[in-house]
């Protein structure tokens, strides 16, 4: 341990994009990469060519990028209004902040609300791990509550009680994902009602990273609740994970605070150009979504027929499942061991999936990848149970 480093950092490990990978080589096309919820479709060639042209003709590499993001913010505001059937002026660039991935925005929100002993955060597990990880690296206390096993609804009683009883510092921010990762469920009416009732001194962050797959947004609530922020990303449906662009929507005063705490040139010129191109051509880029949803239904239906698996309904581009092992089974194996074996066997066959929180998350890939996923899972189940 280095003597000048904060002691609490000793317990953390660096983020690993593909956990379980033993090699230091980047994981590439030799695998079906179904563990990180990206789109299976790269940007179409015509757009790559357009971007290359932009890079060659318009981007001055010796100059800092546009640090104000005004053009991109305007385009995002248009899209946000359109996607929620709101009037063209409902949200403007003053309601948008752009980050180097949503991860940067999560960090900015934590800095703005909780850092320095100002607040703790509340999360309901299982959920996106970055909220807790980023909070802890900033020295922010994380309060965890559970979800109901049947539908992964937040244990609202526990959440309310945590809210009332947490002191020094009190809970200042609540992070929810709509729909949730890794469990793929949208917020329920009861959860939304509870969130709406939260007092204005508590920041409510609704992460809509998978909005384009669920078509279910709470963005219009921002107009009624000045303590709400909605986050979105270009990393999933917009097929731009490599570019690291996320954004959030909130009232103008909160946005101006987020603008204060972010790094001045947080987005490279190339990423700004890519995001702008993507949002201007959204009809074309989002055209693959119906197919992804069809494929998701197929995966869900077929995997549900496996007696050893319990599969939940999904409102996103991934599915969540858990082993369903009978106590009387002759090959008595624990749930965790079952998941470890299944994950390892699938990896050996060439499919990466995410084993997390006592379950397994599988991204919906291309039709070919999904067909392989089904065959491979069936093969492993037969092997493990023979």
Ligand X SMILES: *Cc1c(COP(=O)(O)O)cnc(C)c1O
- Using Cβ positions, the residue closest to ligand X within the complex turns out to be 101
* Only segment of 59-67, 140-148, 233-241, 306-314 that touches ligand X (CB under 6 A): 233-241
Shortest distance, CB of residue 132 to ligand X, whole angstroms? 12
Q: Does 233 bind ligand X (CB under 6 A)?
A: yes
360: CB partners within 8 A, 6+ apart: 320, 321, 322, 339, 342, 343, 353, 354
Kindly list the distances between the CA atom of residue 5 and the CA atoms of 1, 2, 9, 15, 115, in Å, as whole numbers in the listed order. 7, 6, 8, 19, 18
**Does position 108 bind ligand X by CB under 6 A?**
no
Which DSSP helix (H) or strand (E) runs through 295?
A: helix 289-304
Which range touches ligand X (CB under 6 A), out of 69-77, 107-115, 229-237, 284-292? Answer: 229-237
> 249-261 burial, b if ≥16 CB within 10 A, otherwise e?
bbbeebbebbbee
Kindly state whether residue 212 participates in binding ligand X, applying the rule CB under 6 A: no
DSSP letters spanning 4-51 = TS-GGGGG-----SSTT--SSSPP-TTSEE-SS---S-PPPHHHHHHH
Residue whose CB is less far from ligand X, 208 or 295: 208
Does position 235 interact with ligand X (CB under 6 A)? The reply is: yes
| 298/364 Cα distance (integer angstroms) | 10
Member of 79, 128, 194, 338 binding ligand X (CB under 6 A): 128
Binding mask 21-40 for ligand X (x = CB under 6 A): ----------------x---
Q: Candidates 235-243, 307-315, 336-344, 358-366 — which segment interacts with ligand X by CB under 6 A?
A: 235-243
Is residue 102 within the footprint of ligand X (CB under 6 A)?
yes
123 contacts ligand X (rule: CB under 6 A): no
Q: Is 372 helix (H, G, I), strand (E, B) or coil?
A: helix
> What is the three-class DSSP state of 136?
helix
Closest to 368 measured CA to CA, from 43, 32, 28: 32
Of 35, 103, 153, 191, the one binding ligand X by CB under 6 A: 103
Which C-beta is closer to ligand X: that of 316 or that of 343?
316
Q: Give the residue, chosen from 181, 266, 314, 363, that forms a contact with ligand X under the rule CB under 6 A.
A: 181
Pick the closer one to ligand X by CB: 191 or 207. 207
Write the DSSP assignment of 46-90 as a string of letters. Answer: HHHHHHHHHHHHT--TTS---SS-HHHHHHHHHHHHHHTT--TTS
Q: Residue 98: which of 121, 129, 67 has the closest Cα? A: 67
How many residues in the shown chain lie near ligand X by CB under 6 A? 14
Binding-site member from 207, 212, 295, 369 for ligand X (CB under 6 A):
207
Q: Does 101 bind ligand X (CB under 6 A)?
A: yes
Binding site for ligand X (CB under 6 A): 37, 101-103, 128, 177, 181, 207, 209, 233, 235-236, 241, 246
């Amino acid at each position: 341990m280095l003597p000048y480093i904060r002691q609490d950092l000793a317990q953390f490990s660096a983020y690993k994009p593909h956990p379980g990978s033993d090699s230091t080589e980047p994981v590439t096309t030799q695998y079906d990469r179904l563990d990180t919820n990206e789109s299976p479709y790269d940007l179409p060639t015509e757009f790559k060519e357009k971007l290359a042209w932009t890079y060659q003709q318009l981007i001055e590499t010796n100059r800092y990028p546009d640090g104000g993001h005004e053009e991109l913010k305007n385009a995002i505001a248009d899209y946000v209004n359109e996607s929620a059937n709101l009037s063209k002026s409902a949200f403007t660039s003053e309601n948008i902040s752009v980050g180097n991935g949503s991860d940067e925005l999560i960090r900015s929100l934590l800095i703005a609300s909780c850092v320095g002993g100002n607040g703790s955060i509340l999360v309901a597990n299982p959920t996106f791990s970055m909220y807790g990880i980023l909070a802890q690296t900033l020295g922010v206390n994380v309060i965890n509550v559970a979800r109901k096993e049947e539908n992964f609804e937040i244990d609202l009683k526990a959440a309310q009680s945590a809210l009332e009883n947490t002191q020094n510092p009190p809970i200042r921010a609540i992070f929810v994902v709509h729909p949730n990762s890794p469990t793929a469920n949208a917020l329920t009416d009861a959860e939304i009602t509870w969130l709406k009732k939260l007092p204005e001194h508590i920041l409510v962050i609704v992460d809509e990273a998978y909005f384009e797959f669920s078509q279910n947004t709470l963005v219009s609530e921002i107009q009624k609740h000045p303590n709400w922020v909605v986050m979105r990303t270009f990393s999933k449906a917009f097929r731009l994970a490599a570019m690291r662009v996320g954004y959030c929507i909130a009232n103008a005063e909160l946005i101006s605070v987020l603008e204060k705490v972010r790094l001045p040139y947080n987005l490279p010129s190339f990423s700004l150009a890519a995001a702008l191109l993507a949002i201007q051509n959204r009809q074309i880029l989002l055209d693959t979504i119906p197919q992804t949803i069809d494929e998701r239904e197929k995966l869900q239906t077929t995997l549900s027929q496996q007696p050893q698996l319990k599969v939940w309904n999904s409102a996103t581009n991934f599915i969540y499942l858990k082993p369903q092992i009978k106590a009387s089974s002759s090959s008595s194996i624990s749930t965790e061991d079952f998941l470890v074996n299944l994950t390892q066997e699938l990896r050996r066959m060439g499919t990466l999936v995410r084993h997390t929180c006592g379950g397994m998350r599988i991204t919906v890939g291309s039709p070919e990848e999904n067909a392989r996923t089904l065959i491979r899972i069936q093969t492993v189940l037969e092997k493990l149970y023979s």
